[in-house]
Amino acid sequence: MKEVIGVVPQEDNLDEELTVIDNLKIYAGYFGIPRRKAVKRGMELLDFFQLADRAKARLRSLSGGMRRRLIIARAMLNDPKLLILDEPTTGLDPQARHLIWQRIRKLKGHGVTMILTTHYMEEATQLCDRIAIMDKGKILLEGPPGELVENEIEGDVIEFRPNGKSAEQAALKLKKQGALIEKAGDTFMIYTKYPEMALNTLATQEHHFLLHRKATLEDLFLKATGRKLKEGG
């Protein structure tokens, strides 16, 4: 079974005392890959993950993004059919994150099946054909991300921060129009299929802040798992 599965753990478990290519050669030994083949395969992967020029570098000289790319490269040494990635871009800056996304998309294009765990909803939207939203070990929703957003939550979101005491009256009127309303701090989140009607209702209200946008996977995640639960940590 190990011959067809690659695993990218969340923790960084690279060997600090070895060079980049030596980390790959040692790991290849666990799969019985001959040394010459391991070096060839390792260099191909380092080139794919834009690390070929760091092959002989010590681990301590690598940035966080480079180390994550090396861990993914290591998981691909045995040419797996299934790649499991646990929070592959946690803690990385946007540039490093997008580079890893680009490489993961190319692996998908080469026919590698992937299981990805992530708390970044944009990451799930960008990389996954199907997602499962889980909370406390229970699957709440499952399906293609675009279809889930379209079918499981109202299509438009209006973020509204009122200035005055009439907000509750406006909220009640919006509910009668079929809108779903949640409160996050002092901001009302209005989920609606009829944004023009909701905006007309809110036009009569004094407000500090108003934003109209399309619903996202993050909105669906918060709705499915419970916004108050997430606010409470």
Max CA separation in the chain (angstroms):
74
What is the pLDDT, as a whole number, of residue 166? 66
What is the pLDDT, as a whole number, of residue 131? 98
**pTM for this prediction:** 0.81
CATH 3.40.50.300 domain span(s) along the chain: 2-128
As a whole-number percent, the residues of the chain with pLDDT over 90 amount to 66
What is the pLDDT, as a whole number, of residue 175? 86
What is the pLDDT, as a whole number, of residue 50? 96
How confident is the model over 121-161, as pLDDT tens digits? 999 999 999 999 999 999 999 999 999 998 998 889 998 88
Quote the tokens at residue 181: 């309303």
What is the pLDDT, as a whole number, of residue 3? 79
Fold entry, domain 2-128: Rossmann fold (3.40.50)
Instruction: Measure the CA dihedral 10/216/132/80, to 10°.
Output: -50
72-86, 144-158, 182-196: least confidently modelled range:
182-196
- Closest Cα partner for 42 from 58, 23, 69, 62? 23
Q: Is residue 212 classed as helix, strand or coil in its secondary structure?
A: strand
Report CA-CA distances (Å) from 155 to 63, 72, 94, 122, 191: 40, 36, 27, 17, 7
How confident is the model over 35-71, as pLDDT tens digits? 999 999 999 999 999 999 999 999 999 999 999 999 9
What is the pLDDT, as a whole number, of residue 232? 38
For the chain, what is the mean pLDDT?
90
19-28, 58-67, 202-211: least confidently modelled range:
202-211
- pLDDT over threshold 80, residue 227: no
Query: Predicted confidence band at 9 (pLDDT cuts at 50, 70, 90)?
Result: very high
- Closest Cα partner for 157 from 135, 133, 140, 174? 174
Q: Does domain 154-214 have CATH number 3.30.70.790?
A: yes
- pLDDT over threshold 90, residue 202: no
- Measured between alpha carbons, how far is 112 from 104 in angstroms, rounded to an integer? 9
Query: Predicted confidence band at 186 (pLDDT cuts at 50, 70, 90)?
Result: confident
CATH 3.30.70.790 domain span(s) along the chain: 154-214
